[in-house]
């Protein structure tokens, strides 16, 4: 087996040193009969690279990759162009095959990029501090609600109807164990009156902007109303590129920002791994979940970085920790950081403007089609259309023609006639024309 | 040298190069380059070429950003040099033995990276229609088959994103099963004191209370104490097997039977499955739920601390409560059940662990690992991991102190610090001296049940020559420490990119991000 360096002779010599004559002598504590014969596992035997490559490639070929078709799917995961340098750098052995930087003297590479990542996230979200990432946007949102429960010592959360339904369910599954998770009703394309739902028992209000239907929300009045009742505002962002063009949640009064960072540096990967961004105000620092990297000095006075404030974490505090999280999204944060470094201020601004321009152009074109009504008045790179036929059937029909037309709202528990459509920098005029023509036929 | 508002150096440089006695002009030392932060390097360049689209008439609802973000600008060559220089400050399994116990730093095959990047997997949208994702769903289904066959368990929930997330998934399934039985009052979970910190943290996270079970002097869980603690308020036991001391629990079936008889469930922390995969089926031991760290047992790269993946295998008694989404296969092919309303007869999903369907990028790598190894290779890998750990134990037990005697151990060799008694050298010093010898230290001070613990996990990826060299270094270090030759331990490491870092200072005055000079001044 090509990955196993020990030879039969090595094994024999090692067993002699140990003083056993057969390998199962080392498994003597396993209860009698619990060592299964190889035949008990109905699975294939060792295969070479070529055979594995062939088998896996055959499965991969049965899918429609976003880059191989006109693609308008969004709803929490976005197709963007990732510069070639990003993947090249993240595949460096020293990043790819290292572990959590528990030995900072030989992990400054990881620690320094995490410090850069925390700074980038804080700047983008307009917050004071950010952690070294959580699993993804949905779990970051759940952690944010739990943190709000700790900070306010209240249990109820109010979830905006425009919050991605998968996020709402993730929050409900975890934070719902400790209090009511009240979901506001939603009218796609318009803002619900969430302020009316805030009361003295409310720990936090969770509002996504742009929301799952693409609508941009003004968070300021919600933040003010929440603060007036002693509650926190948690702002959720699923398309982080939007912050290159939109006012940051921090500038609108958010107390915690939970976001999905996939759009920067990371591929679609059929839903994971992604990277959860988590930022807040300095005053809540010690209630934060997840890893934090901090600056310090070494014994010679040189700047260096370490994991810090770990007395919040499970390996020290055990059942009193702020979260059970142990890992972060290491390599995905690296991809995010490198891509964001390549973009810089100007690149991010251009990318965001390009996305918005594409989406505006597409919305205007689709709005002219018979049987299509654009519902979202203010949006970034994604909007919702009402179709004259069930959206899921339309999407299936277009997929058969090699077009990924968007995400039917019904897939997320929404209305049958709604289609969520995203247009990023990767969409071309030809893609627009193909979607237009195919929709025309499907709705005729 | 520039100073920040803490009076600490804010650029790399002047302190560097001192250990050799020669202070370099640049502050760099040969291949070891000092590297500033991107925020200190940025100068208005840009690393991408995108059109400068002007938006006169936006549709942003009046929410257009007014100020700049504050990001630095670097070109592509500057960006590449920056991150390449940073990478060289990291230790990695590709460059050396990484004996970090309980973390399983084994070889990461590059075929798996290639497979994960096939566009049909890596560039696939999670909400693309089922007709466009049949190959991906078939791939997940194949991985599920491997996991259920290897564990002898009937069901598996794929969405948990890491080991701790898998623990949460398993405990929430247990909670749902208890509630479905009308026994939601069972709130106590028995956790051995030797457990990973995630176990008690997860139990609390899932709304349970934690009751600690002591370990016996031989490193095993005190099964009698555990059985004595069982009662009508016990929801589950949460055991790691093989345990964190690197030992297989000989009374595991007895403990399983006892908790079942008392009406509770058996959660197993599967962090150490890599010692027994392809050899022992957890389902045969009476386990009800166990997460599998794909990044440990099935070698998806650790990536500096993630991403991982923690699918959870479930017994017949818990299978119905698996979270959304559910993968089903019928005449029309594969499809995902994503809402409770669509759930098939009998399924009572407890909720949802995360958006979408789990760590697909880890699934492709893990399946690629499994197909490469095959059942025979998986079994051989487990045996080699156990053999290598025992070889280390046998080769070091006369100079270091093994708290649980002669062995055998499973895939980890555990030592305590009693061999260092009176030497003035601590476990920390010993570990840091290993860095100077070119090794990543072992796991230190864990498990907590052993004083000054040193937990060594060589994995199956090391050759005998590599193990012999490692053993030679550790023997010599141990003998030097015991005979008063302690110079190399004092202030170690000496040859790493950094000397020991001041962690107390970092925690006392946290600096968690870079700030521009004017903000730093304002903060003073």
Instruction: Name the residue among B276, B323, B461 with its Cβ closest to that of A5.
Output: B461
Per-residue confidence band for A36, with pLDDT thresholds at 50, 70 and 90: very high
Residues A262 and A144 in one domain: yes
Instruction: Give yes or no for a contact between B253 and A31, defined as CB atoms under 8 angstroms apart.
Output: yes
Those residues whose C-beta lies under 8 Å from the C-beta of residue B79, and which sit 6 or more positions away, are A85, A338, A341, A342, B38, B47
Residue B216 CA to residue B207 CA, distance in Å, equals 28
Q: Is residue A63 part of a domain?
A: no
Does B198 fall in a domain? yes
Asked if A308 and A208 sit in the same domain, the reply is yes
Residue B103 contacts A, CB cutoff 8 Å: yes
Q: Which DSSP category does B487 fall into?
A: G
Q: Do B416 and B505 belong together in one domain?
A: no
A229 with A257, same domain?
A: yes
Task: Quote the minimal CA–CA distance from B155 to chain A in Å.
Answer: 16
Q: Give the total number of structural domains in chain A.
A: 2
Residue A60 lies in a domain: no
User: Chain A: nearest CA to B59, how far in angstroms?
Assistant: 5
In this structure, are residues B140 and B295 in contact, taking their beta carbons and an 8 Å threshold?
no
- Is B132 in contact with B296 (CB distance < 8 Å)? no
pLDDT band at A315 (very low <50, low <70, confident <90, very high): confident
CB nearest A351 (choices: B10, B50, B94): B50
Same domain? For A173 and A280 the reply is: yes
Q: Which residues contact A107 (CB under 8 A, 6 or more apart)?
A: A98, A101, B89, B90, B91, B304
- Backbone φ, ψ for residue B72 (5° rounding): -75, 160
Q: Does B1 touch chain A (CB under 8 A)?
A: no
Q: Judge if A321 and A376 occupy the same domain.
A: no
Pick the last residue of a domain from A339, A360, A391: A339
**Partner residue opposite A330 with nearest CB, options B50, B197, B307:** B307
How many CB atoms are located within 10 Å of the residue B65 CB?
18
Residue B89, in any domain of the structure: no
Percent composition of chain A: helix, strand, coil (DSSP 3-state, to 5):
45, 15, 40
Q: Is the minimum CB–CB distance between B149 and chain A shorter than 8 Å?
A: yes
Q: How far is B19 from chain A (nearest CA, A)?
A: 9
Domain containing B36: what range?
1-46+72-78+499-524
H-state helical runs in B319-463: 360-396, 427-436
Residue A212 maps to a domain: yes
Which three-class secondary structure state does DSSP give residue A13?
A: helix
**Cβ under 8 Å to B: A residues 163-182:** 164, 166-167, 169-170, 172-174, 176-178
A248 domain-assigned: yes
CB contacts under 8 A, A 179-208 vs B, are none
Query: Domain check: are B315 and B459 in the same one?
Result: no
Same domain, A364 and A430: yes
Q: How far apart are CA B132 and CA B514, in angstroms?
A: 44
∠ CA B83-B86-B88 to the nearest 5 degrees? Answer: 115
In a domain, B12, yes or no: yes
Tens of pLDDT, residue by residue over B337-349, are 999 999 999 999 9
Pull the structure tokens for residue B159. Answer: 């969405």
Shared domain for A236 and A376, answered yes or no, is no
Residue B333 and residue B191 share a domain: yes
Rounded CA-CA distance B157/B144 in Å is 9
Q: What is the mean pLDDT of each run of 10 residues along chain B (524 residues)?
A: 54 48 89 96 96 95 96 98 98 97 95 98 98 98 98 98 96 98 97 90 93 93 97 97 94 97 97 97 98 96 94 98 97 95 94 98 98 98 98 97 91 97 96 98 93 97 98 98 96 96 95 83 59
Identify whether residues A203 and A291 lie together within a single domain.
yes
Read off the pLDDT of residues B25-81 as tens digits, 9 standing for 90 and up. 999 989 999 999 999 999 999 999 999 999 989 999 999 999 999 999 999 999 999
Q: Are residues B468 and B511 in the same domain?
A: no
pLDDT for B16 equals 44
Q: Is residue A282 part of a domain?
A: yes
Q: Specify the higher pLDDT residue, A326 or A436.
A: A436
Main-chain dihedrals φ then ψ at residue B341, nearest 5 degrees: -60, -30
The pLDDT of residue A320: 81
Q: Please indicate, yes or no, whether residues B509 and B490 belong to a single structural domain of this protein.
A: no
Which residues, at least 6 apart from A32, have a Cβ–Cβ distance to it below 8 Å?
none
Given an 8 Å threshold on Cβ–Cβ distance, is A356 in contact with B247?
no
Q: Cβ of A22 under 8 Å from any chain B Cβ?
A: no
Residues A73 and A135 in one domain: no
Q: Which residue has the tokens 């459509």?
A: A421
d(CA B524, CA B519): 9
| Total length of chain A | 444
How does pLDDT run across A410-440, given as a tens digit for each residue?
999 999 999 999 999 999 999 999 999 999 9
B223 and B334 share a domain? Answer: yes
Please report the pLDDT score of residue B354 as a whole number: 98
Domain boundary among A322, A339, A356: A339
Domain boundary among B334, B368, B402: B368
Instruction: With respect to residue B88, please indicate whether it lies within any of the assigned structural domains.
Output: no
- CATH value at residue A203: 3.40.640.10
Position A228 in a domain = yes
Final residue in a domain of this structure, among B344, B368, B392:
B368
Query: Which residues have a Cβ under 8 Å from the Cβ of A441 and sit 6 or more positions away?
Result: none
DSSP of B117-162, one letter per residue? TSHHHHT--TTS-GGG-HHHHHHHHHHHHHHHHHHT-SEEE----S
On whether both B5 and B117 belong to a single domain, the answer is no
Q: A292 and A398 share a domain?
A: no
Alpha carbons within 13 A on the beta-carbon side of B412:
34
Question: Would you say residue B449 lies in a domain?
Answer: yes
Q: How far apart are CA A54 and CA A48, in angstroms?
A: 10
Are A123 and A262 within one domain?
A: yes
User: Does one domain contain both B469 and B506?
Assistant: no
Query: Given B368, B400, B430, which residue is the final one in a domain?
Result: B368
B493 shares its domain with B510:
no
Same domain, yes or no: B262 and B351: yes
User: What is the model's pLDDT at position B8?
Assistant: 57
In a domain, B96, yes or no: no
Contact A146, A321 (CB under 8 A): no
Burial of B14 (0-12, 13-18, 19+ CB in 10 A): middle
For residues B198 and B341, membership in a common domain is answered with: yes
Pairing of strands B265-269, B234-240: parallel
Residue A18 lies inside a defined structural domain of this protein: no
**pLDDT band at A107; cut points 50, 70, 90:** very high
Domain limits at A353? 69-80+344-443
* CATH code assigned at B487: 3.90.1150.10
Query: Do the Cβ atoms of A29 and B12 come within 8 Å?
Result: no
Q: Are strands B454-456 and A276-280 parallel, antiparallel or unpaired?
A: unpaired
In a domain, B279, yes or no: yes
* CATH code, domain carrying B242: 3.40.640.10
Residue where a domain terminates, one of A318, A339, A360: A339
Residue whose tokens read 């759940």: A142
Cis peptide bond upstream of B6, omega within 30:
no
Question: In terms of domains, do A120 and A236 share one?
Answer: yes
Stated pTM of the model: 0.96
Provide the ipTM.
0.97
Distance CA A229, CA B424 (A): 57
| Angstrom distances, CA of residue A219 to CA of A235, A250, A428, B289 | 8, 10, 32, 42
| Among the listed residues B400, B511, B447, the one whose alpha carbon sits nearest the alpha carbon of residue B247 | B447
Same domain, B398 and B308: no
CATH code for position A437: 3.90.1150.10
Residue A30 lies in a domain: no
Backbone angles phi, psi at B214, to 5 degrees: -75, 160
Mean pLDDT of chain A: 97
- How many domains does chain B divide into? 3
Q: Is the pLDDT of residue A301 over 80?
A: yes
């Amino acid at each position: 087996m090509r990955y196993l360096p020990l030879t039969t002779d090595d094994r024999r010599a090692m067993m002699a040193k140990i003083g056993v004559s057969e390998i199962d002598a080392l498994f003597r504590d396993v209860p009698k009969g619990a060592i299964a014969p190889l035949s008990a596992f109905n699975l294939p035997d060792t295969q070479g690279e070529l055979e594995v490559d062939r088998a896996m490639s055959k499965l991969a070929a049965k899918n429609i990759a976003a880059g191989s078709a006109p693609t308008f799917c969004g709803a929490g995961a976005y197709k963007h162009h990732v510069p070639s340098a990003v993947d090249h750098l993240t595949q460096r052995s020293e990043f790819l095959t290292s572990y959590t930087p528990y030995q900072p003297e030989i992990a400054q590479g990881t620690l320094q990029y995490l410090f850069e990542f925390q700074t980038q996230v804080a700047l983008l979200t307009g917050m004071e501090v950010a952690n070294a990432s959580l699993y993804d946007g949905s779990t970051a949102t759940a952690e944010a609600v739990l943190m709000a429960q700790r900070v306010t010592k209240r249990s109820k959360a109010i979830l905006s109807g425009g919050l991605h339904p998968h996020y709402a369910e993730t929050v409900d599954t975890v934070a719902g164990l400790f209090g009511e998770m009240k979901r506001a009703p939603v009218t796609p394309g318009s803002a619900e009156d969430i302020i009316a739902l805030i009361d003295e028992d409310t720990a936090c209000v969770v509002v996504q902007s742009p929301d799952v239907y693409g609508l941009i929300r003004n968070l300021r009045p919600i933040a003010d109303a929440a603060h007036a009742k002693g509650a926190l505002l948690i702002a959720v962002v699923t398309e982080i590129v939007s912050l290159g063009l939109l006012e940051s949640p921090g500038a609108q009064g958010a107390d915690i920002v939970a976001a999905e960072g996939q759009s920067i540096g990371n591929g679609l990967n059929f839903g994971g791994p992604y990277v959860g961004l988590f930022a807040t105000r300095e005053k809540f620092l010690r209630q934060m979940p997840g890893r934090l990297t901090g600056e310090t000095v070494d014994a010679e006075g040189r700047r260096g970085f370490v994991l810090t404030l770990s007395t919040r974490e499970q390996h020290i505090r055990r059942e009193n920790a702020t979260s059970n999280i142990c890992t972060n999204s290491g390599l995905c944060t690296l991809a995010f950081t490198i891509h964001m470094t390549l973009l810089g201020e100007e690149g991010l601004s251009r990318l965001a403007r390009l996305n918005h321009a594409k989406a505006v152009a597409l919305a205007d074109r689709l709005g002219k089609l018979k049987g299509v009504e654009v519902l979202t008045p203010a949006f970034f790179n994604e909007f919702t259309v009402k179709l004259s036929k069930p959206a899921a059937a339309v999407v299936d029909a277009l997929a058969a023609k090699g077009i990924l037309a968007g995400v039917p709202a019904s897939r997320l528990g929404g209305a049958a006639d709604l289609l969520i459509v995203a247009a990023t920098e990767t969409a071309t005029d030809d893609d627009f024309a193909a979607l237009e023509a195919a929709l025309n036929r499907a709705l005729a | 040298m520039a100073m920040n508002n803490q009076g600490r150096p804010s650029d790399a440089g002047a302190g560097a190069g001192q250990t050799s006695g020669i202070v370099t002009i640049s502050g760099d030392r040969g291949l070891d380059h000092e590297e500033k932060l991107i925020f200190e390097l940025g100068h208005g360049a840009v690393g991408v070429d995108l059109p400068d689209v002007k938006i006169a008439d936006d549709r942003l609802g009046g929410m257009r950003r007014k100020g700049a973000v504050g990001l630095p600008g670097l070109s592509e060559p500057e960006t590449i040099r920056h991150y390449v220089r940073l990478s060289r400050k990291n230790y990695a399994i590709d460059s050396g033995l990484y004996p970090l116990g309980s973390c399983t730093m084994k070889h990461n095959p590059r075929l798996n990276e290639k497979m994960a990047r096939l566009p049909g997997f890596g560039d696939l949208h999670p909400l693309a229609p089922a007709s466009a994702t049949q190959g991906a769903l078939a791939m997940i289904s194949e991985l599920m088959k491997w996991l259920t066959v290897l564990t002898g368990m009937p069901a598996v929930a794929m969405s948990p994103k890491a080991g701790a997330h898998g623990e949460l998934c398993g405990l929430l399934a247990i909670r749902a099963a208890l509630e479905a039985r009308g026994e939601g009052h069972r709130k106590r979970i028995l956790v051995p004191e030797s457990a990973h910190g995630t176990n008690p943290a997860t139990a609390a996270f899932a709304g349970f209370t934690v009751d600690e079970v002591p370990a016996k002097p031989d490193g095993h869980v005190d099964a009698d104490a555990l059985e004595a603690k069982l009662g009508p308020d016990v929801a589950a036991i949460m055991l790691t097997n093989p345990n964190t001391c690197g030992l297989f629990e000989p009374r595991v079936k007895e403990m399983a039977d006892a908790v079942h008889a008392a009406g509770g469930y058996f959660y197993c922390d599967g962090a150490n499955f890599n010692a027994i995969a392809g050899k022992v089926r957890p389902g045969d031991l009476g386990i009800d739920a166990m997460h599998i760290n794909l990044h440990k047992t099935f070698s998806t790269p650790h990536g500096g601390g993630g991403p991982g993946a923690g699918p959870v295998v479930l017994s017949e008694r818990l299978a119905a409560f698996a979270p959304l989404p559910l993968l089903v296969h019928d005449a029309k092919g594969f499809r995902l059940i994503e809402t409770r309303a669509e759930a098939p007869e009998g399924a009572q999903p407890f909720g949802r662990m995360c958006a979408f369907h789990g760590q697909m990028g880890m699934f492709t790598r893990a399946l690629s690992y499994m197909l490469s190894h095959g059942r025979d290779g998986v079994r051989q890998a487990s045996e080699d991991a156990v053999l290598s750990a025992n070889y280390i134990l046998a080769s070091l037990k006369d100079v270091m102190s093994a708290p649980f005697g002669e062995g055998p151990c499973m895939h980890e060799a555990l030592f305590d610090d009693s061999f260092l008694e009176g030497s003035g050298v601590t476990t920390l010093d010993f570990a840091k001296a290993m860095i100077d010898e070119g090794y990543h230290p072992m796991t230190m001070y864990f498990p907590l049940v052993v004083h000054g613990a040193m937990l060594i996990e060589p994995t199956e990826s090391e050759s005998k020559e590599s193990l012999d060299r490692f053993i030679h270094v550790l023997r010599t270090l141990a003998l030097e420490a015991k005979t008063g030759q302690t110079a190399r331990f004092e202030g170690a490491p000496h040859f790493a990119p950094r000397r020991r870092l001041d962690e107390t200072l970092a925690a006392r005055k946290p600096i968690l991000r870079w700030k521009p000079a004017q903000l730093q001044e304002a903060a003073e």
